[in-house]
Chain A
Amino acid sequence: MTKHSDGKSCGKSRGNSTLALPMPAIHRRDMLALGAGGLLAASGFGGARAQTKAAPPPPAKPTGQVVVGLSQEPTAFNPLMPGIEVDETVWMQIFNTMWLAQPDGSLVPDLAVEIPSEANGGISEGGLAWKVKLREGVTWHDGAPFTAEDVKYTLELINAPGFKARTRVGHSLVKDIKVTGPLEISWRMEKAYAPYLALLSNTFIVPKHLLEKAADPNTAPYNAAPVGTGPFKWGTRTPGDNIQLVANEKYHGKGPYLERAVLKYVPDQTALYAQFRTGQVDLIIGTGIPANFYAEAVKLPGRKVMKIPSASLEILMPNLENPVLKDKAVRKALYASINKQAIIDIIYYGLHTPTESFAPQESWAYNPNLPKQSYDLALANKILDDAGWKRSGSGTRMKDGVPLTFAVSTTTGAALREQAQQLMMQDWQQIGVKMTINNMPAAVIWGDFYTRSKFDSLLVGTAFRTVIDPDPAHRFGSDAIPAKNGNGANQMQWQNAEADALMKDGQTTFDQAKRKAIYVKLQELVREELPILPIYQYAPVEGYKEGLIGFEPNVNARQNTWNMGVWYWAR
């Protein structure tokens, strides 16, 4: 199997530079595609690997084009500015990061020569001092040489006060950035922060010589026609329709083998699938092929369709400040009376995998020994009886005058999720819980209602980690509750001193074995306390035309165009 990164690391310090860190990725799209929840499917892959057995060699010079079908439109092209997950399909082609996560979880150097670690001296003083050596001979698409000044500029721009940076998580800890040579850079961290390695695998480096000239980098013309170091150069864009990228023949890595890559926006997922069927798009990635078409799609002649691994989970997210849901016994009873298997098999065509953990099953930090949930209404009834929730005349339980009732919200129009809500409602009715449905459009639900924890509970697809690192501190930390002026995304409002201590240790330790022990314990704690009720782990269905070589799903990349530079057509 040809890998994008092989080319990047070859010729330099290949071999000793690879750091084995299996780190699955967060998938923003699952949150955005909440409305399309039913369109995503379970894990298991292999079609891509199977076809490469007898793959012909790549063409000598870039040849042909690929049309990638997307159901969301990429619109933000400065990779440091606010964008949605689909924008990364463009960033990954135009730009490079210092290192890149592989499907097996290892990081391989890209713009850097090696991954800094405590062993090679790249990270020292207990994680406070970082030093990175950069690759020689890399040029920007306009011909200018890539240097350490570009990296310095990028890290400084992210923290610049007036700049609309997408996120400053981790970057805000970076101080004293020093260029110590044309291709050498060092900086200090305010505190030891292990996930920064993962964050940098998703931080695209932008050119200083072009952006510093702009009066305001927020509105620079550059943002509409970016220049990078990646395998493809910016071509043309037809807003609302497509983006064309052209081969960068001076690319420092392997490839590109395609002359042109077209990112085609087809908003309606049924229409997108029709275009895949009729051959107008060569592949579907991202939100993927709707689950209800899966059985038909795998039989399409001339198409490879597969379930791909994803790091996102479908969960019921309770608001722990809700008078009912803050009772652990209630959460336990609710969890015991969710018929997970029925939801997966009947509603989602059996595509998903049930899960007990907040960590994806491909993660090195995954704990496979968590107690398995079983659908047990008698147990649920007993838990509630024991906790003092007494059945009232109407059948709804009460405790201290508070009825056991709450609402479950999700995005309006997510048909399969609505069916899941109804299944839960029926089950919970039998244990004396009255659940109501309070669905809203995406733009409403993801506003203050979600960020400021104004919901009772949400049915949602999301992930709990920092980029591709298992650290979930900004989702579970007591100081990460926006409704309590915290800085993070702990919308459940979970506060647990033991969890806080574990997460702090996990961030300041660089030893993977030690970190694993920490996160294994944290998963046990979360499974016991149930700040989230995990239902299943996602895997979308993606597909491509036969003859396309090089497509490889990567649970550690945000989009499966991560290695498009090495794609080509069998001739």
Chain B
Amino acid sequence: MSSFLLQRLMQALLLLLIVSMIGFAILHLAPGGPMSQFAAGGDMTQADLDRIAEQLGLNRPLPVQYAEWLWRMLSGDWGNSYRDQQPVLHIIAGHLGPTLELMLTSTLLAMLLGAWIGIIGAVNRYSLFDGIATIGTMIALSIPTFWFGLVVIYVFSVGLGWLPSGNRFTIGDGSFLNRLHHLIGPCIVLALVSTAVWSRYMRSSMLDVINQDFVRTARAKGVPERRILMTHVLRNALLPMITITGLHVPSLLSGALVTETVFTWPGMGRLFLDSISYRDYPVVMGILMFTAVMVLLGSLLADLLYGVADPRIARSGR
């Protein structure tokens, strides 16, 4: 087990290096740069722009910039934001809380609801419920998030006045109820798509198991249907879900780009979007590396958990 872990960690480090090189190259080679926000003002002279570019180190060759960035990164200094002047780690940390709050709530909601729909759908395959769930899933997956977010705001905030039209809480009132109230809108939007995804996974995973020999045997032995479903089918059907959950971890931390923007949620997704549009290289690279680490950790976690959940996998081939 430990050699497996070591091997996976080595792979992960190599992957991170490659990700950083590709990310850095794409970001810096893409046309446009951080100077554009200052240049657009018109009251900056060319000498001002050149001076700022030099102070930001943007006038040096790309490989030199990369080497410097990598060295600083390895020594724990993720650099300072061009736009914000603050340390990148500090900025990322500031956006993690809101993202976790939103993503955990909506994911939990989507997982429970999705699993329920998936299980009922699989058990009563081709029933009316299953049909409606299937069509509903298709619609949910096809709706553009941006549009749906605006519809939710238009209907529930502007029209009915039930929900706030955005923000994490009312400034001056950070109470639990106030926060909960603000969570509802973005959660509905995020959960819509995720529930659809989770229900499809759950349904197909259940169907895989439901037709297997041991289930038929159990049924033949007269085990009550409810017990078969709960102990035999569901338990086995949850195995692939572990992998999916593990792979879902990064998105918990990287946030939901569109939803956070529409609902003015100060999370990681919006930070990423803002930083890209300002070509804030240090922050974009910081988020990129942070997300890459999370993806690798998530898949590692999934592998390990899978082994724990199903000892056959842990023993074989490793």
A: residues with CB less than 8 A from B are 26, 28, 31-32, 34, 65, 67, 73, 75-76, 78, 81-82, 84-85, 162, 164-169, 218-219, 223-224, 238-242, 244, 260, 262, 264-268, 270-271, 274-275, 277-278, 280, 440-447, 449-451, 462-463, 466-467, 474-475, 480, 482, 485-489
Indicate if the CB atoms of A447 and B42 lie closer than 8 Å: no
Q: Are B43 and A169 in contact (CB under 8 A)?
A: yes
State whether the Cβ of B168 lies closer than 8 Å to any Cβ in chain A: yes
Residues of A with C-beta under 8 A to B35 = 446-447, 451
Whether B172 and A271, one on each chain, are in contact in the complex, defined by CB atoms closer than 8 angstroms, is: no
- A482–B170 Cα distance when bound, in Å, is 47
Could you list 19 examples of A-B contacts with CB < 8 Å?
A34-B40, A75-B83, A76-B83, A76-B85, A81-B85, A168-B45, A168-B47, A238-B94, A264-B167, A267-B261, A271-B165, A275-B166, A278-B161, A280-B170, A441-B277, A443-B36, A444-B31, A447-B32, A450-B40
B303 at the interface (CB under 8 A from A): no
CB of B208 closer than 8 Å to a CB of A: no
Q: Which residues of A contact B86 (CB under 8 A)?
A: 224, 239
- Give the residues in chain B near A264, CB-CB below 8 Å: 167, 171
Name A26's contact: one of B42, B168, B261 (CB within 8 Å): B42
In the complex, the answer to whether B158 meets A278 with C-beta atoms within 8 Å is yes
List, in ascending order, chain B residues with CB within 8 A of A271's CB. 150, 153, 165-166, 261-264
How far is it, in angstroms, between the C-alpha of A551 and the C-alpha of B95 when the chains are bound?
Answer: 33
The answer for the CA separation of A238 and B83 in the assembled complex, in Å, is 15
Q: Is the CB of B165 within 8 A of A489?
A: no
User: B92 to chain A: closest CB distance in Å?
Assistant: 10
Q: Interface size of B by Cβ–Cβ distance < 8 Å?
A: 59
CB distance from B286 to the nearest CB of A (A): 13
User: In whole angstroms, what is the CA distance A485 to B34 when docked?
Assistant: 21
Find chain B residues with CB under 8 A from A81 CB: 85
Other A-B pairs beyond A31-B41, A166-B38, A166-B48, 18, CB < 8 Å:
A28-B40, A28-B42, A75-B84, A76-B83, A164-B55, A166-B44, A167-B45, A169-B45, A239-B95, A241-B98, A241-B167, A260-B172, A264-B171, A267-B270, A268-B262, A271-B264, A274-B153, A275-B167
Please state if A274 and B45 are interface contacts (CB–CB under 8 Å).
no
**Cβ B95 vs Cβ A240 within 8 A:** yes
Q: State whether B44 touches A270 (Cβ < 8 A).
A: no
| Nearest-CB residue, chain B, relative to A462 | B42
Knowing A474-B45, A488-B45, the reply to whether A268 touches B161 (Cβ < 8 A) is no
Q: Is B67 an interface residue (CB 8 A)?
A: no
By beta carbon, the residue of chain A nearest B267 is A240
Measured in the bound complex, the distance between the Cα atoms of B32 and A224 in whole Å is 27
A366 to chain B minimum Cβ distance, whole angstroms, is 19
What is the interface of chain B, defined by CB distance below 8 A to chain A? Answer: 31-49, 51-52, 55, 80-81, 83-86, 91, 94-95, 98, 150, 153-154, 157-158, 161, 164-168, 170-172, 261-264, 266-267, 270-271, 273-274, 277-279
The smallest beta-carbon distance between A358 and chain B, in angstroms, is: 12
Given contacts A442-B36, A466-B43, contact A168 B274 (CB under 8 A): no
Bound together, the chains give a CA A43 to CA B78 distance in angstroms of 46
Q: Are B167 and A445 in contact (CB under 8 A)?
A: no
Are the CB atoms of B166 and A447 closer together than 8 Å? no
Decide: B157 and A274 in contact? CB cutoff 8 A: yes
B43 touches A274 (CB 8 A): no
Please list the 8 inter-chain residue pairs (A to B) with the smallest Cβ-Cβ separation, ordered nearest first.
Answer: A446-B36, A443-B32, A444-B32, A241-B266, A240-B266, A482-B46, A31-B40, A28-B41
Partner of A280, one of B42, B83, B165, B266: B165
Contact check, A244 vs B171: say whether CB atoms are below 8 A apart: yes
Question: Complex: how many Å from CA A443 to CA B281?
Answer: 12
CA distance in complex: A430, B38 (Å): 38
| Chain B min CB distance to A474 (Å) | 6
CA of A26 to CA of B43, assembled, Å: 9
Point out the residues of chain A lying under 8 angstroms from B52, CB to CB.
82, 164
CB-CB < 8 A to A224: which residues of B? 85-86
A399 to chain B, nearest CB (A): 32
CB-based contact A488/B94 at 8 Å: no
The interface residues of chain A lying within 8 Å CB-to-CB of B44 are 166-167, 489
Nearest-CB distance from B145 to chain A (Å)?
13
Contact call A463/B278, Cβ cutoff below 8 A:
no
Q: Determine if A240 and B94 form an interchain contact, defined as CB atoms under 8 angstroms apart.
A: yes
If A239-B266, A450-B39 touch, does A441 touch B32 (CB 8 Å cutoff)? yes
User: Of the candidates A73, A440, A447, A466, which one forms a contact with B274 in the assembled complex, judged by CB atoms under 8 Å apart?
Assistant: A73
B94, closest chain A residue (CB): A239
How distant is the Cα of A277 from the Cα of B153 in the complex, in angstroms?
A: 11
Indicate if the CB atoms of B264 and A275 lie closer than 8 Å: yes
CA distance A195 to B283 in the complex (A): 38
Contacts A275-B165, A443-B32 known; A451 to B39 CB distance under 8 Å? yes
Q: Please give me the residue from chain B that is nearest to A73 by CB atom.
A: B274
CA distance A6 to B270 in the complex (A): 41
Measured between beta carbons, the chain B residues less than 8 angstroms from A463 are 42
Chain A residue at smallest Cβ distance from B172: A65
Chain B residues with Cβ under 8 A from A268's Cβ?
261-262, 264
Query: Most A CB atoms within 10 A — which of B41, B172, B262, B274?
Result: B41
Q: Contact partner of B43 among A32, A266, A442, A474, CB < 8 A? A: A474
Chain A min CB distance to B72 (Å): 14
Contact A85 B157 (CB under 8 A): no
Chain B residue with minimal CB distance to A78?
A: B85
Residue contact A267 to B37, C-beta cutoff 8 Å: no
Which A residues are CB-close (under 8 A) to B37?
A: 32, 84, 443, 446
Which residues of chain B are within 8 angstroms of A82 by Cβ–Cβ distance?
A: 38, 52
CB distance from A319 to the nearest CB of B (A): 16
- In the complex, what's the smallest C-beta–C-beta distance from B80 to chain A, in angstroms? 7
Of the candidates A31, A164, A262, A449, which one forms a contact with B171 in the assembled complex, judged by CB atoms under 8 Å apart? Answer: A262
CA distance A169 to B39 in the complex (A): 14
| Contact A446 B165, CB 8 Å, known A65-B172, A241-B266 | no
A266 engages B55 (CB within 8 Å):
no
Contact check, B277 vs A446: say whether CB atoms are below 8 A apart: no
Which of A84, A164, A488 contacts B46, CB < 8 Å? A488
Specify the chain A residue showing the minimal Cβ separation from B35: A447
Do B43 and A467 touch across chains, with their CB atoms under 8 A apart? yes
Bound together, the chains give a CA A244 to CA B170 distance in angstroms of 13
Query: Is there an interface contact between B49 and A451, defined as CB atoms closer than 8 Å?
Result: yes
Q: Is the CB of A443 within 8 A of B33?
A: yes
Among B38, B157, B165, B168, the residue within 8 A (CB) of A241 is: B168
Q: How far is the CB of B86 from chain A (nearest CB, A)?
A: 6
Structural contact, A240 and B161, CB atoms closer than 8 A: no
Shortest distance between the CB of B238 and any CB in chain A (Å): 36
B266, A278: Cβ atoms under 8 Å? no
Distance of A31 from chain B, by nearest CB (Å): 4
Cβ A447 vs Cβ B33 within 8 A: yes
Q: Are B32 and A31 in contact (CB under 8 A)?
A: no
Q: Taking the nearest CB of chain B, how far is it from the CB of A198, in angstroms?
A: 11
CA distance A164 to B80 in the complex (A): 14
Q: Which residues of A contact B31 (CB under 8 A)?
A: 440, 444, 447, 449
A274-B42 contact, Cβ under 8 Å, with A168-B48, A240-B95, A447-B32? no
